[in-house]
Structure 1
Amino acid sequence: MFVGSFWSLVPAIIAIVLALITKEVYSSLFVGIIAGGLLYSSFSFEGTIQHVFVDGMIAQLSDSWNVGILIFLVVLGSMVMLMNRAGGSSAFGWWAINHVKTKAGAQVATIVLGILIFIDDYFNCLTVGSVMRPLTDKHKISREKLAYLIDATAAPICIIAPISSWAAAVTGFVDGANGLTLFVRAIPYNFYAILTIVMMFTLTFAGFDYGPMKKTVLEIKPDESDFRKKVASSITGADDQPTPPVSMKGRVEHLVVPIVVLFISCVIGMIYTGGFFSGENFIDAFSNSDASVGLVYGSVAALLITIVFYVATKVLTFNECMNAIPEGFKSMVPAILILTFAWTLKSMTDSLGAKDYVAGLVSGFAGNSAVISMLPAIIFVVALFLAFSTGTSWGTFGILIPIVVGVFGADLANELMIISISACMAGAVCGDHCSPISDTTIMASAGAQCNHISHVSTQLPYAITAAAVSFVAYILAGFIKSWFICLPLGIVLMIGTILVIKGITTKEA
């Protein structure tokens, strides 16, 4: 009765509506899951419990691909905690404050550090603000501007980095295709993330701000005293501890080396699973890789190398390294919970035949190429609105990506499917970037020690500008279907828009 009909979409719709109303994703996803179980079992209590927990949650957590993604996230959380406690981030900030001599240089250094920490947005927010705050204070850059630079190099960087917690999450939501290959192919179409980076550099080198950001000033006196201890305390929240757990012996290489090792080892792990060492060429091996297994191989190897590196260079003892590992696990619990619920919701809609129903609906539009070509731009707006309302990109991925795959099919030869998946990711990041209830937005405020509402209000015009240009780029991409053309056009349009705004604000002044 309910299978293969409109009712198959009801669990996802319930999750979306509740997320918009409650601004809370965990309970919304769970209620959607229960609704799916009730529909599948025709409202049988025993059948619902069986389908939700055995066929759904337990089955998803028993799936080898999903388990691999969860292991990668746990190991990644442990590495992030180790890098924090080794003091490499504070060492980078100490180096920067002694070598960067201009206001533009301070902003560029902040952006570069944000780009360098691409593996996780939480790690990014927790370190960049704490490390760069004394430097930006020295050059009288407002805390609101620092918060924007932190926020704009957190999620937007992670969503275009193939070795990151975000890439792992996205690949876990894609069924029927190589999720990592899809993620990599979607990167050039992730207009919001790329154009946000372009916008930051353009604003920095053009030397101006606009909107509420233009009126912000640094309201505190810069203080460079005892820099490294202050950074260590702010990273760990250990201000009241006599001996903060961040090492004072850390150097820049204690940040850079683990990140480089993680990237290289994960690439090696993935091409190994794709048959590179059995004769396949690099491209085919990467495309055919088992990302879940490859990321586990690479991350575990990187974790072991990092521990040996830290112990050998005496920045952390072996016991300190071991103590950091469970703390890193704890930091990933919210991400793991969202993934578990999203996977289970997806299994509910799959069992109700949502893919077949949606595919049948879309086939009715097959003759109208204009409507189909506009879908990426529409998906971008829907994802933006959902992520803004709920404050979570990952929850938006879990709800929308399976629907997008159901609309277009898991066909990597379909360029419009690639564009639409990227539009979903870009819209989710944009909404997360704008949302006052987003965890990354809140952490960016905390990292910069900036009033949260002030951060949101000053960042919003910048995010809306990038979103508007991205929307136009997705309209073009839907019809042209080539990032070689659309991405350069988007970059030119972004730079041009900023320069026009500068001209207008200069005349008004």
Structure 2
Amino acid sequence: MEGVTALSLLPPALALAMIIVTRRVLPSLGAGILTGALILNDWGVLSALSDIWDSFAVLFVTDGALNDWELFIILFLLLLGITASLISFSGGSRAFGNWALHRIKTRTGAQIATFVFGILIFIDDYFNSLTVGQVSRPVTDRHRISRAKLAYIVDSAAAPICVLAPLSSWGAYIITLLDDITSEYSDVSMSGFQTFLAVLPMNFYALSAITLLFFVILWNIDIGPMRRHEERALLHHQLLDPNRSHIPGEQVSNLDEHNGRVRDLVIPIAALIVSTVIFMVYTGVRAAETVTPITIFAETDVALSLVLGGCTGLIVSVLFTFGKRPAAGAFLQAVWNGARSMLPAIYILILAWMIVSFIEELQTGEYIAWLIDGNVSASLLPAILFITAGLIAFSTGTSWGTFTILLPIAADTASVIDITMLLPFLAAVIAGAILGDHISPISDTTILSSTGAGSHHIDHVITQLPYAIIAAAVSFVGFIVLGVTGSTTAGLAVSLVLLLLTALYLKNTIETLHDGKEVVSKPE
């Protein structure tokens, strides 16, 4: 591939390796950024440093205009942190935890409630990751569920759910891409929406990840590093690794919480959710030339909607807090604590955005896609495309970028080899992109899931990885079956049966941490 070499793999590979070895995210991302800049500037140090500064500045200002996407995401994080802090300060979190404890009496019930809430908030992965974690935390904390486990539940009910929902920002984006792709081939009579529905049952990874999450919750399957976190939480009442600090989203306050009520949490969060959905519909209607449910979510301004919804939630939480007549100093301290709690996540996001910009300029994704051997049998290509898309999304931290790069390549490959393989090829790319996004330390969704859950970022990445590998392995086999037989039913059945057998094996071989007894802390 002209102009692109294997060196394009070095920055993401270095960053990912350092994250795994050192467990320190910021220095690792910094090393990847510096390496990418040096490669792009022929190893010139001064020009590389200048390029790094430009990549930072362009996150906020482009051609003299504000780059509102990144700014709005950062602003929403600050708004959410302040809102959560005020809810805690007003006693809403404590009251909600006590209320839920009387109704959700088991650890399994608390996890299932979080899982169901994540499914219901399918409209956008950013919104899902942050909101579900913040709302569920008071309940899961009371039931001694580790923050790493909460982050895994939140993350597995974010992108894997959103990618299956046509009326979501993900679904709308994919449908738009598929519509452009299918219109290029006279042999394909389906619209983008019809194609999206057709490939849904072939998205083996998303379906496997969600199903595995249900088994993990139901049967307490705590494996690998997750077991250590759950053991620490259950037996020692430590929800976080005590050796780590600066947890994103963690509310640290020495202030006395006011006597709160359940409504102090429920109404501000409900206002945030409802208003965000309304603003997403409103901005989508304004931007869409033809107003349909799909075009609304395809054209909606997610970042602006999150900020406006966040402002609404914050205003409501401020009003409820003022109703308790707090001291001005204590109120301002709570506001500062909320903003400060989100700073670690913002630092990680900024560096992740910067390294992604260098990875895009190095054309890392295109290089990996180019490595696909065109001489491979068509029956094996779904499995190969699945792994390729996973590697691209893992390396670049973006599933949407992977869709953009690889879906057209997959379609062109099908048109040359066998047009009847178009749907399996497209499905394999979408499923692989979700896999890579799910396990990448530099993925926005991974970062925001750990932030919403109040978990340390690297703890979330490491504890989630074994479960993602299991879902990926059974999906890989499913895509082989799909390619060989051409049967969606056979591929999906093989994936889910293998997943069930694996879950049953783990259930029967791993001793439960609490000997089958539910541990519930007493209401305060």
TM-score interval, smaller chain: 0.5 to 0.7
Residue identity matched to 2:235: E
Number of equivalenced pairs: 449
TM-fit CA distance, 1:216: 5.0
Is 2:291 the partner of 1:274?
no
Partner of residue 22, structure 2: none
Query: Which of 317, 328, 353 is the equivalent residue of 1:310?
Result: 317
- Comparing 153-162 with 186-195, which one deviates more in the overlay? 186-195
Distance 1:77 1:444, change over 3 A: closer
Query: Which of 82, 93, 97 is the equivalent residue of 2:101?
Result: 97
Q: Give the conservation status (yes or no) of the 8 Å contact 1:86–1:315.
A: no
TM-fit CA distance, 1:97: 0.5
TM-fit CA distance, 1:366: 6.5
Distance 1:234 1:369, change over 3 A: closer
Q: Give the conservation status (yes or no) of the 8 Å contact 2:69–2:303.
A: yes
Partner of residue 13, structure 1: 9
Is 2:46 the partner of 1:36?
no
Separation in 1 of the partners of 2:96 and 2:486?
41
Separation in 2 of the partners of 1:66 and 1:424?
30
Query: Which of 263, 281, 294 is the equivalent residue of 1:283?
Result: 294
1:70-93 deviations in Å (ceiling 9; x for gaps): 133124313421441242555442
TM-fit CA distance, 1:480: 7.4
Distance 1:66 1:401, change over 3 A: farther
1:49-106 deviations in Å (ceiling 9; x for gaps): 8877769974995279993431331243134214412425554423210212345433
Separation in 2 of the partners of 1:79 and 1:93?
22
Partner of residue 219, structure 1: 235
Matched position secondary structure for 1:251: helix
Partner of residue 387, structure 2: 378
Matches within 5 A, 1:131-280: 131-134=139-142, 136-137=143-144, 143=145, 146-147=146-147, 149-160=149-160, 162=162, 191-205=204-218, 207=219, 209=221, 213=227, 218-220=234-236, 236-239=250-253, 241-243=254-256, 250-276=264-290, 280=291
TM-fit CA distance, 1:338: 1.3
Residue identity matched to 1:469: V
Q: Give the conservation status (yes or no) of the 8 Å contact 1:376–1:420.
A: yes
TM-fit CA distance, 1:346: 1.1
| TM-score, with structure 1 as normaliser | 0.65
Partner of residue 466, structure 1: 471
Partner of residue 74, structure 1: 74
How many percent identity over aligned positions? 17
Is 2:302 the partner of 1:295?
yes
Residue identity matched to 2:34: F
Matched position secondary structure for 2:264: coil
Separation in 1 of the partners of 2:59 and 2:266?
44
Matched position secondary structure for 1:342: helix
Partner of residue 109, structure 1: 113
Separation in 1 of the partners of 2:479 and 2:61?
35
Distance 1:82 1:151, change over 3 A: same
Residue identity matched to 1:270: G
Residue identity matched to 2:359: L
TM-fit CA distance, 1:35: 0.7
Partner of residue 187, structure 2: none
Matched position secondary structure for 1:219: helix
TM-fit CA distance, 1:423: 0.6
TM-fit CA distance, 1:497: 4.0
Residue identity matched to 1:295: V
Separation in 1 of the partners of 2:304 and 2:392?
33
Matches within 5 A, 1:457-496: 462-476=467-481, 490-491=495-496, 493-496=498-501
Matched position secondary structure for 1:8: coil
TM-fit CA distance, 1:493: 4.6
Query: Which of 25, 29, 39 is the equivalent residue of 1:25?
Result: 29
- 5+ residue gaps, structure 1, are 138-142, 223-232, 388-393
Partner of residue 84, structure 1: 84
Separation in 2 of the partners of 1:460 and 1:55?
30
Residue identity matched to 1:334: I
1:107-155 deviations in Å (ceiling 9; x for gaps): 3234345556762646655664454222x24xxxxx5xx4564132232
Matched position secondary structure for 2:255: coil
Matched position secondary structure for 1:298: helix
Separation in 2 of the partners of 1:410 and 1:52?
36
Matched position secondary structure for 1:332: helix
Q: Give the conservation status (yes or no) of the 8 Å contact 2:104–2:110.
A: yes
Q: Give the conservation status (yes or no) of the 8 Å contact 2:72–2:303.
A: yes
Residue identity matched to 1:78: L
